[in-house]
C-alpha cells in the first residue's frame, strides 16, 4: 500500500455504493487478498502499475485474470507507455487520472455490468481494434479529487505513512522527463483540504509523504511543513529544486529532523543542460550545497545522468570536477555546523522515455556506459566522504526496452512470466538486441 495510485484507486472504487472492494497483492507468484475475497468471486479488476520493472508481475496478474475470465481495467504509467501491448490483454486501457472520466467508467460498470465496458468511448480510453483512443478529444483533466492514503499500514515500504499528492505534473519542462510530459498542465492543490486531512491523522501515523514531481515548487510548501511540524509528524519528500532552497525552508526541514536533502543536477556540462532542458548555474549549486551543510544536514544526495546524447568523456570529467567542488562547498558549510555531510551520488544511465522531447534518442551502448562509470570512479577516487551508486547499464537497457520496445521483447517476457524467471534473466536474452 505504498503506492499512492493504488490507494487512490481503492478509494475511488470503494466509495461507490453497493460494491464490495478487495485489494489483491502479488508476492512471488502468490495472490493475497487482505479482505479474504476469493479471486473467482471478482466481477471486475482494476489494475494499476507505475514502475516499468513491474512488468513480469503485471503479466502474471493478466494470466490470473484470464484464467478466471475476469474483465479488467488497466491504468498507470505502464499502460501509458505501451497501451497497444496491454490492450491485447486487458479489456480497457485507461490513460488518465482518477478524475471524472474514471467516475464515468464506474457508472457504466454499475449500470450495464462488466461485459459492456469495451463499448465505452471516452477520451483517454485506448481501443485495441483502433490502435488509439477512440475519442481523440483532449481529455479535460479535473483535479477535484485529491489522491491520498486511505489505508495506512506498518507492513509496507513506507510504514505508517500518509501519502498525499500536493501537485500534479511539473512547472519545469525538462526534455527527458516523463512526469511533466504526461501530466499537463501543472496543477497544485490548495493547502486547506491537505491540512484538514493531515490534522485528522491518528497518532499511529508518523509520517506524511508529500507527493509531487518537484515538492518545493509548491507555493504553500513552508506553511504546509510548519503545520506538519506542529502536528508532530515527520515528512518524506522526493528531490527538491535547488532554485527554491531557502534558509527558511532548510530551517523547517531541520526542525522536522530531516537528515537528507536530495537534488538532481543531472549533468555538469552546459551544452547537455541545454539538451535536456534543465539549466542551472554551477555557482548556485555550490552555494546551495554550502548552505545545506551549514544547517547540519547529515547527507546530500545528488542525481546525475550518464549516456546523454552527444555526451563526451570530457563531459564526464566535468561532472567529476563538479562533484569535487561540491565536496569542498560542503566542507566549508560544515565548518559552521560541525557536521560534514556524506555526499551520496546516484549516477544512472539516461533512458529515453516515450512522449518526452528526447524520446527518440537511443540508449547508450552498454560497453561505453561501463567505461564512463570507470572514469567517474577513477576521477573521484580519494575525494573523501563520497558514496557512489550506479544503476547497472544492463538493467538500464532492460528498462529502455520495456519502456520503448516492449513489442520486440514481448515473447521473451511472456515466456519469463510463465516459467517464473527473474527480470535479470531476461536481460541476458536481450544482450544482442
Ligand atoms: S526532471 Fe524534475 S524539474 Fe524537470 S520536469 Fe521533471 S520533475 Fe520537473
User: Is the pLDDT assigned to residue 124 strictly greater than 70?
Assistant: yes
Give the percent of the chain with pLDDT over 70: 96
Q: Mean pLDDT across the stretch 45-62?
A: 90
Whether residues 10 and 128 share a domain: the answer is: yes
Whether residues 313 and 384 share a domain: the answer is: yes
The domain in which residue 288 lies consists of 259-391
> 3-state class of 298 per DSSP?
coil
Q: Is residue 413 part of a domain?
A: no
Whether residues 252 and 307 share a domain: the answer is: no
Q: Is residue 18 part of a domain?
A: yes
H helices present in 304-365, as ranges? 313-337
Contact by Cβ (8 Å): 111, 93: no
Q: Mean pLDDT across the stretch 195-221?
A: 94
User: Is the pLDDT assigned to residue 138 strictly greater than 60?
Assistant: no
Q: How far is the CA of 153 from the centre of ligand 1 (A)?
A: 30
Ligand 1 atom with the smallest distance to the CA of 170 is 8
The residues with which 342 forms a beta bridge, in sequence order, are 299
Whether residues 173 and 248 share a domain: the answer is: yes
Q: Is residue 427 part of a domain?
A: no
Q: Mean pLDDT across the stretch 390-411?
A: 92
| Interval 72-90: pLDDT, tens | 999 999 998 888 888 888 8
Q: Is residue 306 part of a domain?
A: yes
End-to-end CA distance of the chain: 36
Q: Which range has the worst mean pLDDT, 104-113, 201-210, 258-267? A: 104-113
For the domain that residue 16 is a member of, what is the CATH number?
3.40.50
Report the residue among 77, 179, 275 best suited for mutation to probe ligand 1: largest number of ligand atoms under 8 A from its CB.
Answer: 179
pLDDT-derived band at 135 (thresholds 50, 70, 90) equals: low
H helices present in 76-139, as ranges? 77-81, 83-87, 100-112
Q: Is residue 385 part of a domain?
A: yes
Whether residues 65 and 188 share a domain: the answer is: no
Q: How far is the CA of 214 from the centre of ligand 1 (A)?
A: 7
For the domain that residue 292 is a member of, what is the CATH number?
3.30.750.200
pLDDT-derived band at 103 (thresholds 50, 70, 90) equals: confident
Which residue in 346, 387, 398, 396 sits closest to 368, CA to CA?
Answer: 396
The residues with which 236 forms a beta bridge, in sequence order, are 209
Judge if the beta carbon of residue 172 lies within 6 A of ligand 1: yes
Omega prior to 185 cis, within 30 of 0: yes
Whether residues 33 and 116 share a domain: the answer is: yes
Q: Which helix (H) or strand (E) holds 257?
A: none
User: Is the pLDDT assigned to residue 123 strictly greater than 90?
Assistant: no
Whether residues 41 and 107 share a domain: the answer is: yes
What pLDDT is stored for residue 18 in this prediction? 83
Judge if the beta carbon of residue 224 lies within 6 A of ligand 1: no
Question: Domain count of the chain?
Answer: 3
More confident residue, 5 or 27: 5
Q: Which range has the worst mean pLDDT, 213-222, 355-364, 409-418? A: 409-418
Q: Mean pLDDT across the stretch 339-354?
A: 97
Whether residues 109 and 150 share a domain: the answer is: no
pLDDT-derived band at 136 (thresholds 50, 70, 90) equals: low
Judge if the beta carbon of residue 5 lies within 6 A of ligand 1: no
Amino acid at each position: 500500500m505504498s503506492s499512492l495510485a493504488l490507494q487512490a484507486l481503492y478509494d475511488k472504487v470503494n466509495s461507490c455504493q453497493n460494491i464490495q472492494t478487495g485489494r489483491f497483492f502479488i508476492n512471488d507468484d502468490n495472490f493475497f487478498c487482505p479482505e479474504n475475497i476469493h479471486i473467482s468471486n471478482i466481477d471486475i479488476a482494476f489494475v494499476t502499475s507505475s514502475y516499468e520493472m513491474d512488468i513480469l508481475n503485471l503479466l502474471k496478474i493478466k494470466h490470473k485474470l484470464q484464467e478466471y475470465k475476469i474483465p479488467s481495467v488497466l491504468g498507470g504509467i505502464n499502460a501509458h507507455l505501451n497501451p497497444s501491448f496491454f490492450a491485447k490483454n486487458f479489456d480497457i486501457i485507461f490513460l488518465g487520472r482518477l478524475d471524472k472520466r474514471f467516475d464515468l467508467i464506474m457508472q457504466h460498470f454499475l449500470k450495464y455490468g462488466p461485459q459492456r465496458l469495451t463499448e465505452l468511448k471516452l477520451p483517454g480510453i485506448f481501443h485495441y481494434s483502433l490502435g488509439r483512443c477512440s475519442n481523440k478529444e483532449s481529455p479535460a483533466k479535473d483535479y477535484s479529487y485529491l489522491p491520498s492514503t486511505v489505508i495506512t499500514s506498518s507492513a509496507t515500504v513506507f510504514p505508517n505513512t500518509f501519502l498525499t499528492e500536493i501537485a500534479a505534473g511539473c512547472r519545469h519542462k525538462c526534455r527527458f522527463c516523463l512526469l511533466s510530459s504526461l501530466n499537463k498542465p501543472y496543477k497544485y492543490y490548495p493547502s486547506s483540504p491537505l491540512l484538514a486531512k493531515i490534522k485528522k491523522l491518528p497518532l499511529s501515523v508518523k509520517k506524511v509523504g508529500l507527493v509531487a514531481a518537484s515538492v518545493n515548487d509548491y507555493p504553500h510548501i513552508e506553511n504546509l511543513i510548519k503545520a506538519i511540524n506542529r502536528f508532530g509528524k515527520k515528512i518524506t519528500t522526493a528531490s527538491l529544486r535547488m532554485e527554491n532552497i531557502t534558509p527558511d525552508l532548510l530551517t523547517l526541514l531541520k526542525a522536522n529532523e530531516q537528515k537528507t536533502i536530495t537534488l538532481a543536477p543531472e549533468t555538469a556540462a552546459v551544452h547537455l543542460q541545454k539538451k535536456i532542458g534543465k539549466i542551472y548555474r554551477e555557482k548556485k549549486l555550490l552555494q546551495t550545497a554550502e548552505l545545506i551543510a551549514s544547517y547540519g544536514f547529515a547527507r546530500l544526495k545528488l542525481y546525475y545522468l550518464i549516456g546523454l546524447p552527444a555526451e563526451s568523456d570530457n563531459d564526464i570529467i566535468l561532472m567529476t570536477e563538479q562533484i569535487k567542488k561540491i565536496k569542498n562547498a560542503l566542507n566549508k558549510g560544515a565548518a559552521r555546523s560541525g557536521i560534514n555531510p556524506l555526499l551520496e551520488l546516484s549516477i544512472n544511465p539516461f533512458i529515453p522515455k516515450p512522449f518526452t522531447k528526447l524520446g527518440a534518442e537511443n540508449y547508450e551502448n552498454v560497453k561505453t556506459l561501463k567505461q564512463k562509470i570507470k572514469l567517474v570512479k577513477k576521477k573521484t577516487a580519494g575525494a573523501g566522504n563520497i558514496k557512489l551508486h550506479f544503476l547497472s547499464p544492463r538493467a538500464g537497457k532492460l528498462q529502455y526496452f520495456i519502456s520503448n520496445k516492449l513489442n520486440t521483447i514481448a515473447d521473451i517476457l511472456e515466456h519469463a512470466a510463465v516459467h517464473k524467471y527473474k527480470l535479470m534473466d531476461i536481460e541476458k536474452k536481450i544482450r544482442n538486441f
